[in-house]
Amino acid sequence: MTTTQTGLLTADDLLRLSAEGFRGELVRGMLRETMATNREHGFIVVNLATELRNFVKPRRLGSIVASDSGVRLERGPDTVREPDVAYTSFERQPRGANRTSYAEVVPDIVVEVASPNDQRNYPAERSEMWLSHGVQLVWFVHPETRSIDVYRTDQPMITISGDEPLDGQDVLPGFSCHLTDIFDE
């Protein structure tokens, strides 16, 4: 394994560790292990990724990736984070981009699904982290309350729940789905 002069790991090191079964992210050269989640988390990720893909693919708007797909946010020291679901437009990342490494372009939309062990301030901190790197829209999903916090740069966070639709706003115009399509099997 190669490390920088300061002993920090690189994105390439993380790729090699991932191939050996390590699950986690890299934050300024330091490993952060992530844990497997419950089935509910998996259902929500698949449901939301499917809703997005069913809208994006026929219109040839961009690509959708799900958990374990890293995005390199910083270099020297490297930071690689992994959203639960991400949409990247072909305007940001043209077709045919390298898919065997981490994405070098930040997504347009990032979805994070809360885990039971997340600390109280985690949703806001995680969402702000994505926004500070250029993500335009963050949906932070709360399975326990069946609600979604919507984050945008320079706008107040809003929470949708119940019969309110989740929509792509001006980032993914025309996309909309019911929350029951996300939370139900």
In which band, very low, low, confident or very high, does the pLDDT at 37 lie, cut at 50, 70 and 90?
confident
**Domains contained in the chain, CATH given:** 37-183 (3.90.1570.10)
In which band, very low, low, confident or very high, does the pLDDT at 4 lie, cut at 50, 70 and 90?
very low
Can you spell out the DSSP letters for the chain?
Answer: --B-TTS-B-HHHHHHHHHTT--EEEETTEEEE-----HHHHHHHHHHHHHHHHHHHHHT-EEEEETT--EEEETTTTEEE--SEEEEETTTS-TT---SS-BSS--SEEEEE--TT--TTHHHHHHHHHHHTT-SEEEEEETTTTEEEEE-TTS--EEEETTPEEE-TTTSTT-EEEHHHHH--
The average pLDDT across 10-18 equals 91
Nearest to 70 by CA among 123, 6, 9: 9
In which band, very low, low, confident or very high, does the pLDDT at 6 lie, cut at 50, 70 and 90?
low
The tens digit of pLDDT for each residue in 48-68 reads 999 999 999 999 999 999 977
Q: 53-61: long-range contacts at Cβ-Cβ below 8 A with a sequence spacing of 24 or more?
A: 55/168, 55/172, 55/174, 55/175, 56/87, 56/172, 56/175, 60/90, 61/89, 61/90, 61/172
Question: So what's the pLDDT on residue 50?
Answer: 97
The tens digit of pLDDT for each residue in 146-182 reads 999 999 999 999 999 999 999 999 999 999 999 999 9
Question: So what's the pLDDT on residue 58?
Answer: 98
Residue type, 51: E
The average pLDDT across 61-76 equals 91
> What percent of the chain clears pLDDT 90, i.e. is strictly above it?
70
Q: Of 104 and 99, which is predicted with more confidence?
A: 104
The average pLDDT across 20-47 equals 89
The average pLDDT across 17-38 equals 87
Are the beta carbons of 62 and 93 closer than 8 angstroms?
A: yes
Provide the mean pLDDT of the chain: 90
Question: So what's the pLDDT on residue 2?
Answer: 45
Q: Of 134 and 24, which is predicted with more confidence?
A: 134
The average pLDDT across 101-114 equals 93
